Structure formats: structure tokens, C-alpha cells
Structure 1
Amino acid sequence: MRTEIRLAGFGGQGIARAGYMLGKAVAVGDGNEAVFTQEYGPESRGGASAANIVVSDEPIDEPFVALPDILVAMYQAAFDKYAPKIAADARVVIDSDLVEPHDLPEGAEVLTIPATRIAEELGVKIAANVVMLGFLAAVADDIVSAESLRDAVRGGVPARVLDRNLEAFERGHRHGFERDDRGGDGDA
């Protein structure tokens, strides 16, 4: 089983950190093979940024993401850049306050969460990436376990903001189970 995942946003959203934590969770926590790469523009903040993770239960010969099975878009320009290059049946996870999906393959599944709004409600806007990881633990539990991802967050954020990041993770995870297509209200 090979799964390609791309997290995309802009510099300053913690995309690379989220990708690293996701890769660590699937490899160290869940015992799969994983490769993590990143893309970014010349700007340190505000430029395009992407984290690419290849997950497999076998050794990974080709470490690059070509057609992601999961695209996480946390910024409209990132969605516009990467959405045309996804698998026909991809799961497309978007920050619903920042991204308006369009022109997706017919078989794509769109999953939404107001990740930035939830992080702002918690007083840590920068933790929107961790809200998104919590959401992924619910909607992609066939790829990564919540326990492993939670452990990766514990080891991946500074101690001074750990409690708020764990709360961000839990809010995202809970939202994944409360969304409309699972019978909940879908709003945080």
C-alpha cells in the first residue's frame, strides 16, 4: 500500500513541521515506511510551501509525490497550484475559511474544517497546522493512527505551547468525527 500525501499552504503556517510530524507518526509510531520532502519559495514567510509524505508498508523506491492521494490545502494559492495534480479519487482536505475548492476530479472527496478559526479560538493561530493533523487522524485513520500522531505532536512542538497544541489536535480530531457526512453538524 503506497499513499502519497501533500500538505500545502504558505510559509509561516507550519506546513513543514506538520509534514515532519505526520511522517514521524506513520514511520515511528505506526511502523510503516515514510519519506518526507518539502518545497518552498525563496521567501521565509508568506511564500508557497508544501510538505510531501510518501507512506508505504514496503520499502519506498520512488520518494517523490506525483499524484497525491491526500491533498491538504491551507491557502487558496496552494490549492490552486496543487489541486490539478491529484489522484482521481483523492481526499482533498481544506481549511474552509481560507480555501474555496473548484475544478476537482469527479471522484475526489472534499473534507472541510475551519482549522485557522479553531486555532484562533484557542489563542494560537499558528496551531492551525496541528488542528489539521487532528482532523487527518480522523479522516485518514487508514493511513495514520491518532495515537501516533498525538505522540508526534508531543515531540514536535515546544514545551511552552504543548498543552494548547494538544487541545488544537483534539479539536481537529473531534471535528473529523462530527462533520456532515458522518452525521454530525460539521461546524466547530
Structure 2
Amino acid sequence: MLGGTFDPVHLGHLRSAVELQECLMLDRVHMVPASMPPLRDEPSVPPEERLALLRLGIGQTPGLTADARELERHGPSYSADTLASLREEYGAEARLVMALGHDAFLRLVEWRTPERLFELAHLVVIDRPDHDAPLPDALVELIHRREVDCSEALFQEPAGSLLRLALPTRMAISATEVRRRLLEGSSIRYLLPEAVEARIQERALYRRH
């Protein structure tokens, strides 16, 4: 599971999903747009539109799927609920992984029932090579004795461990920057898949109205 607002989806999101699948030899990666992210501002466009953009971005990429389950629930998008749904779908013995970026990892103790995440899945943190600040004490306590150093150790059990993973390609693209460029009328070429850019331009998304 790779969640996020995908506001909008860009090549950094998609390349990370492909490399996660390759590095961890995952059967598939569920890319799950959040409907109402509890710890972030409300996304710029409706969830159904972000899902449509994500589907266009993924296209026919093997192993990646746009998963609408958080959009089908009412209320805030809690990752533990999404993982519980995936666990029910795949069964008790499946190796489940929730991937998250370093910035989200630093706020993990603020999430709803963070301990439950480890009961349902493994957590994989996409490391930032330039970020080596010490972790908050509460986060150190949360991940105590959970961290492993390779995927083989991670997958010995269905859930419960944490792996920090440096992906081969680190694309310095942010959705915030994409939205800023759209507001200014600047080019977003080569930051997004062509099909995503075409729909954004066609529907005048992320522009002032």
C-alpha cells in the first residue's frame, strides 16, 4: 500500500511505486488516494478527480493499481482502517507492506492508533539520503525492536517490522510545486505523465476560478 493525496499524481509518485515493487519483489502496489487526510489540509481537487488522474498516470503499468477504497468510506482516511481492509482481503498470512515517505514517518506517533499499523502490516520508510536528523523520542519508542535491515528479514512474518529503504531514483518533484506552477501558468511538462497533464489542462484544474 502506498497512500497519499496524489494532488496531483506526478512522476515521482509513480517511479517510487515501480521501484518499491522491484526492490521488495511485491506482487502488486495499491496506490490509495486519501479522501480526507486527517493531518493535512484538504486537497485542492475532489477525490474522484484525483483518482481519475491517478488511473491515467498508472495506465497499463504492471503491478500498480489505483485503489479507491478510502474514497468509498465516510469520514477521515485512517491508514489503519485501510490496512484492515487489505488484511481481510488478502488473509492473515499475506505479507503486507505500507510504504510512507520520511516526512510522514516523522509524524507517525500523531497518527490514529499507530501501534495497530504494525499489527496489520510492515512499514517501509522511503528514506531521504539528505535527512539524518535524530528521531523524536516518542517515535524511537514506537519503533523500538521493530527495525530490520533487509527485505528478507522483513518478510519472515506477515506484519510487525520496519525497514528503511533508499530507492534507486530520487525524483525531486513535489505536488506543491506542480500546483504552484499551474497557478502561475508555468510549464509542468515532464513532471507528470502526458495523460495526466492533458486532463489537468483540459479541465483547468488547479487554477484560480
Higher RCO, Cα 8 Å, sep 6+:
2
Same fold (TM over 0.5): no
Instruction: Return the TM-score normalized by structure 1.
Output: 0.37
Between Structure 1 and Structure 2, which shows a larger proportion of strand residues?
A: 1
Based on CA coordinates, which of the two structures has the bigger radius of gyration? 2
